[in-house]
Chains A and B, each alone.
Chain A
Amino acid sequence: MGLFDRLIGWLGLKKEVNILCLGLDNSGKTTIINKLKPNNAQTQDIVPTIGFSIEKFKTSSLSFTVFDMSGQGRYRNLWEHYYKEGQAIIFVIDSADKLRMVVAKEELDTLLNHPDIKHRRIPILFFANKMDVRDALSSVKVSQLLCLDNIKDKPWHICATDALRGDGLQEGVDWLQDQIKSLRT
């Protein structure tokens, strides 16, 4: 691995990784992606995504292409068309929306049981977002409610985040980068 990585770095190329960013509407997917972009590329006002949008950002060794999907009910059936391309999944959860935690769980279950996802060992990063809201659930509680313990055949990680300030995002992306690198070799 070391040699290959050094070669890539030496050539000035970065590996391209396709990521799917999923989650219910109003969970903060676009805000998170926006925050991961370099400061000069960030947009100021974020509106509900229509359909999906493709965003790019880079980390130290990887170049990410993110499919930022709309989470609205009527666009959720678009998700499965992009499952094949996805090499990693970011699943964003609104920790303050206790009522719709079951809906998030339901969508996660259908995602995990989809034939394009079920037998692939792709890393899933969960962002328990909106930690700044007063009565938000903790990331432990969120992972309990979503029954994340039942995911045995895929590497997963949950981070408590506040996408407005960017807290917790870097930790998650670092984990994702490590996972992708270890999968490649």
Chain B
Amino acid sequence: DETLRSLAAPPSPPGQDPQGWRAPVDCVRANELCAAEPSCSSRYRTLRQCLAGRDRNTMLANKECQAALEVLQESPLYDCRCKRGMKKELQCLQIYWSIHLGLTEGEEFYEASPYEPVTSRLSDIFRLASIFSGMDPATNSKSNHCLDAAKACNLNDNCKRLRSGYISTCSKEISATEHCSRRKCHKALRQFFDRVPSEYTYRLLFCSCKDQACAERRRQTIVPSCSYEDKHKPNCLELRNVCRADHLCRSRLADFHANCQASFQSLTSCPGDNYQACLGSYAGLIGFDMTPNYVDASTTSITISPWCSCKGSGNLEEECEKFLRDFTENPCLRNAIQAFGNGTDVNLTPRTRLVPVTVPPRTEKSPSPDDINYSNTIYDTSIITTCTSIQEHGQKLNKSKEQSLCYSETQLTTDTMPDQKTFVDPKAGGSRHWAGRILPTVPVLLLVLVL
């Protein structure tokens, strides 16, 4: 019916994903919508049988399989997404990959993330964190931020319970030969990062340090002796294959690549200048085979890596180094961690909460493929009505060396165009994230230039 038709996306090459701005249906729901339609459900059943235990090429050699895949590209299953920590997350991801593994080679360096784009910003966390800051008189603890973070967690029942949960699991000795149960430790870590609000977990994970004791505490956060280190250090591409064999790990890795991939076209080196999204997908990798951590307790240079090396890469040395550099020498990830530690955030994009309710909707019609060309349509009819609220907001930002400007609509279309290019990263999912945030905020365009 109508919902189904409006959800069906025109086929487009995967990876570019220009439909990202449309509120995506989760794949569990899309599966239900598909099951309600006989033609969709039968094709989906066919495709699942095609994919079961076969690689992409053998699957596509079958005409029936190919036809099923083509039809499903028009269904809500095609552009469905999942949420981190949602109910039935694994089921959702299984549905996602059942379609997308057929669509892509499945061996690409970067894969599209099955998760919904993150729209919240670091500043949202700071606002929440300021509630706690009152109880940290920083004097008695010699301003060890990692110690303050542990205190904040211990004073919150939920955080304390789940932190103690993973610490006791990860430091429990099994036998003389087995140091700990890595499987149980990872599970407990995932529970901690999924169920405890990020204002607690990020503080523990990304606290800024001036001395080595603090940096060592930060490195110890995930109990690396059990969750991270291993007797054997595998090759990174080998480890990536292990990760990609698991739907959850594969999804979290794709999400990390989508949100933390260094982009040289943005100010912060992050896709869409979104630090929060990068830190979130970093934390999302903890508790899987690709668990990352600080490699040492250095206070000056932050180096992150999964437990792997590029030894024994053979002719894939270059690819391996490229993969590893996304962790070890990633300016986006490093900037995001430092920004969190310093309590700073960039405000390049309009904030949803600034949207006044009185502004009439720009368009009544349902989204049509024409709207995908957002580069022009989004700007031309927008009217600034809330300069005062923007200026209020801007004053706060001025303190942090940032300047806000209030533009008229004509200025916007002309002046912002050169800047806008910085958000569009053709390789990454950057354009999708940017578009996803701008659409609900079309009426108000707050342009804050970081000087």
Are A and B genuine complex partners?
Answer: no
Q: Please report B residues at the A interface, Cβ cutoff 8 Å.
A: none
Q: Please report A residues at the B interface, Cβ cutoff 8 Å.
A: none
